[in-house]
Amino acid sequence: MAEFPEFYFRGEEREGFYIEEMMKRAWAAQIEVLEIIDRICKEYDIQYFADWGTLLGTIRHKGFIPWDDDIDIVMKRDDYNRFLRIFNGERPDGCFLLSIYANEEYNEIFARVVNSNYVNYTKEYLERWHGCPYAVGVDIFPLDKLPVDKDEEDIQCSMLRMLIKAIYSKDETEETIRIIEDMCGVTIDRTKKIWHQLLRVADGVLQMYNDDGGDYAELIYYLNRSSRRYKQEWYSESIRLPFETSEIPVPKEYDAVLRNMYGDYEKPTQWTDGHNYPFYKKQQAVVDARLAKE
């Protein structure tokens, strides 16, 4: 279980990058969310692994990359689906699940466990989350199998590209919907949220080859990044390694995974992978805007 001595929350410089006190508190809050996930996974024998920058940070920094601000994990699809069902049944105190099956307004293909959906300055909340008033969470990505046949892989990827384009560009024309219905063998209810139905269709397409497929992939990201393809043996076992004041499971073959992702991953390069670092400035801007209107 993670323990955070008071000095942990002091701002500090790591590898030439200054980490402010609030980021340290946000890190601690995220680790608390991760430990809730970890407890459920241990109880129900669900395997998960550090992913993306969290995996890189674990191996290279024994914690967060100094300029990173979130935690990412990945689960094989069977474990992922089982976790979603179990978490909704458990309803652990202080956290809730965001997924396309639990929330009609949620628009990501992956799931997220969060501690709130708004900024909270109450004493109880601040005490529970190490003085971090912001909503924090852990992103959970599904790991699916690619088809063995290259032609089938091309077809699956084409289906996903069309779906993703329709979902995120809000291309809901009748022609597009009919093409998707024919290609995917589904029926879209025009009286309900089309984009949300398409997200569920896309999630089904991701799972098409899990019974008899080949390599693993985070398929949505594999469409544009071939480095998101992994050999099955790389994820056959996990080991737990230090992460800040806690531990996190990583693929036993983490070196192969990281070299596939990043090439020479041992030399630090400051990047934020598309995030608006730090994430909580956007939340604070919403609070400031509301206060300005009062």
Could you tell me if residue 82 is inside a domain?
yes
User: Which residues are CB-neighbours of 84 under 8 A, at least 6 positions away?
Assistant: 97, 99, 101, 102, 111
Q: Do 91 and 154 fall into the same domain? A: no
Exposure of 223 in the CB half-sphere (CA atoms within 13 A)? 16
Q: Are residues 114 and 38 in the same domain?
A: yes
For 156, the domain range is 150-206
Q: Is residue 221 part of a domain?
A: no
Residue 174 lies in a domain: yes
Please identify which residue in the block is written with the tokens 């069309």: 162
Is 127 a member of any domain?
A: yes
Query: Is the same domain home to 67 and 85?
Result: yes
Confirm whether 216 is domain-assigned: no
Per the listing, tokens 């008033």 go with: 133
Same domain, 195 and 155: yes
Q: Are residues 250 and 121 in the same domain?
A: yes
Is residue 132 domain-shared with residue 157, that is, in the same domain? no
Q: What pLDDT does residue 273 have? A: 54
Quick check: is 37 in a domain? yes
**Rounded Cα gap, residues 49 and 56, in angstroms:** 12
3-class secondary-structure state, position 137: strand
In a domain, 191, yes or no: yes
* One domain, residues 43 and 111: yes
Q: What predicted TM-score, i.e. pTM, was given to this entire model? A: 0.96
Nearest 5°: CA angle at 238, between 232 and 240?
155
Q: What is the DSSP string of 20-42?
A: -HHHHHHHHHHHHHHHHHHHHHH
pLDDT, residue 271, reads 63
Considering the domain architecture, whether residues 157 and 134 belong to the same structural domain is answered as no
Same-domain status, 166 and 81: no
Q: Calculate the CA 51 to chain-centre distance.
A: 8
Question: What is the Cα–Cα distance from 183 to 163, expressed in whole angstroms?
Answer: 10
pLDDT by residue for the chain (294 residues), tens only, comes to 789 999 999 999 999 999 999 999 999 999 999 999 999 999 999 999 999 999 999 999 999 999 999 999 999 999 999 999 999 888 888 899 999 999 999 999 999 999 999 999 999 999 999 999 999 999 999 999 999 999 999 999 999 999 999 999 988 899 999 999 999 999 999 999 999 999 999 999 999 999 998 999 999 999 999 999 999 999 999 999 999 999 999 999 999 999 999 999 998 776 655 568 999 999 999 999 988 988
What distances in angstroms separate CA 106 from CA 69, 111, 112, 181, one per listed residue?
A: 21, 9, 10, 22
Within a domain: 223? no
Give the residue from 190, 206, 222 where a domain finishes: 206
Do 114 and 91 share a structural domain? yes
For the domain that residue 91 is a member of, what is the CATH number?
A: 3.30.460
> HEC string of 254-289?
HHHHHHHHHCCCCCCCCCCCCCCCCCHHHHHHHHHH
pLDDT at 185: 96
pLDDT score recorded for residue 16: 93
Euclidean distance between CA atoms 154 and 160, whole angstroms: 10
pLDDT attached to residue 274: 55
Residues 17 and 115 grouped into a single domain = yes
Neighbours of 204 (CB within 10 A): 14
- Alpha carbons 246 and 269: distance in angstroms, whole number: 24
Domain count for the chain = 2
Question: Same domain, yes or no, for 129 and 262?
Answer: yes
What is the phi/psi pair of residue 230, to 5°?
A: -135, 145
Give the pLDDT confidence score for residue 269 in this predicted structure: 76
**Cα gap 198→178, rounded to integer Å:** 12
